[in-house]
Amino acid sequence: MADTAQAQELVYLVTGGCGFLGEHVVRMLLQREPRLHELRVFDLHLGPWLEELQTGTQNVIDACVQTGTQFLVYTSSMEVVGPNIKGHPFYRGNEDTPYEAVHKHPYPRSKALAEQLVLEANGRKVRGGRPLVTCALRPTGIYGEGHQIMRDIYYQGQRLGGRLFRAIPASVEHGRVYVGNVAWMHVLVARELQQRGALMGGQAYFCYDRSPYKSYEDFNMEILGPCGLRLVGTRPLLPYWLLMFLAVLNALLQWLLRPLLLYAPLLNPYTLAMANTTFTVSTDKAQRHFGYEPLFSWEDSRTRTIGWVRAMDGSAP
């Protein structure tokens, strides 16, 4: 997301503005940015491959330089850090916590390289001679209205008679963050970057709120439980080796079917490693640098998401 200020009025370009987070950022700008003069939304459905995303990010940076756009906020991901495929836990870490990032899947590799491009571009001269000011936001696992994976899990549970079967140990914790708070952080960063560029420029920030730390499945049940689903089992129903076998089989099928159709299973070796590795964040860097506080409480975030799930099949609120 890039912005430029002219006579106290702001023009925003939101790239990926038709996606899950992008739509929430657009709504947040319309609701919370009183100096908004013009909002431009751009979305191009690129493939997931590394070269395409890296080239696209470089094109955005070059466009900022050529047009004199001074501020660039990049939506990164916690996955530029981890969890790594070795299963090393990241427990209550922050932006400075040492952690071995091991990227073999195209998505985290591409996000990590794109983030590096954006942060290294900080200070580059744009048209008119001013310095480009950049920063990156790293959401943990985003949830909320419109979340496709939660939608898929909900429908899967319905097909299984209102049941979901535990696959991940309850002791594995994950950080989650409500999409409205991620959108709010984007708006706040873009606003404060103009005044605090010397402090914020070239920095990366985790996106966080007060959502509870739980396993991925137990957290989902905070939302899906009130919608009629129940989680079966206190321990994983299937052993890890069997889940890995199924994950590898899914990956093989995806590769074989790629020329004919898009097969995107929820379970693959990368998602299995992610789900089985603790990754939780405890940081106040965003609060210290630009005054971030979550706009939505955990209770409000949960209520909004439950309402969205219930509305998907016309269930009573």
Q: How far apart are CA 29 and CA 31, in angstroms?
A: 5
Residue 59 lies in a domain: yes
Each residue's pLDDT tens digit, 80-135: 998 887 889 999 999 999 998 887 777 788 888 889 999 999 999 999 999 999 99
Tell me the three state secondary structure of residue 37: strand
Dihedral angle over CA of 181, 187, 193, 194, nearest 10? -160
Residue 58 lies in a domain: yes
User: Based on the structure, what is the number of domains in the chain?
Assistant: 1
Residue 31 lies in a domain: yes
Residue 241 lies in a domain: no
pLDDT in tens, the chain (317 residues): 444 444 456 676 676 656 767 677 767 766 677 776 555 566 554 334 344 445 678 888 888 899 898 999 999 999 999 888 788 999 999 999 999 888 777 778 888 888 999 999 999 999 999 999 999 999 999 999 999 889 999 999 999 999 999 988 999 999 999 999 999 999 999 899 989 999 999 999 999 999 999 999 999 999 999 999 999 988 888 888 898 899 899 889 888 887 787 777 778 888 888 889 999 999 999 999 999 999 999 999 999 999 999 998 754 43
Mean pLDDT of the chain: 85
Name the residue among 274, 269, 271, 219 with its Cα closest to residue 244: 269
Quote the radius of gyration of the chain (alpha carbons, Å): 20
Helix (H) or strand (E) holding 279: strand 279-281
Residue 9 lies in a domain: yes
Residue 248 lies in a domain: no
Domain that holds residue 37: 2-147+176-214+279-312
- Residue 41 CA: distances (Å) to CA of 5, 16, 17, 115, 251: 17, 7, 5, 21, 34
**CATH number, domain at 180?**
3.40.50.720
Maximal C-alpha separation, the chain: 63
**pLDDT value for 5:** 40
**pLDDT value for 271:** 83
Q: Catalytic annotation on 263? A: no
Each residue's pLDDT tens digit, 24-42: 776 776 667 777 655 556 6
**pLDDT value for 132:** 94
Cβ atoms of residues 247 and 238 within 8 Å: no
Residue 68 lies in a domain: yes
**pLDDT value for 2:** 44
| Contacts for 255 with CB less than 8 Å, ≥ 6 apart | none
Q: How far apart are CA 200 and CA 261, in angstroms?
A: 44
**pLDDT value for 39:** 59
Residue 209 lies in a domain: yes
**pLDDT value for 305:** 97
**pLDDT value for 17:** 56
The one catalytic residue in 12, 74, 91, 107 is 107
Q: How far apart are CA 302 and CA 296, in angstroms?
A: 10
Q: How far apart are CA 90 and CA 83, in angstroms?
A: 7
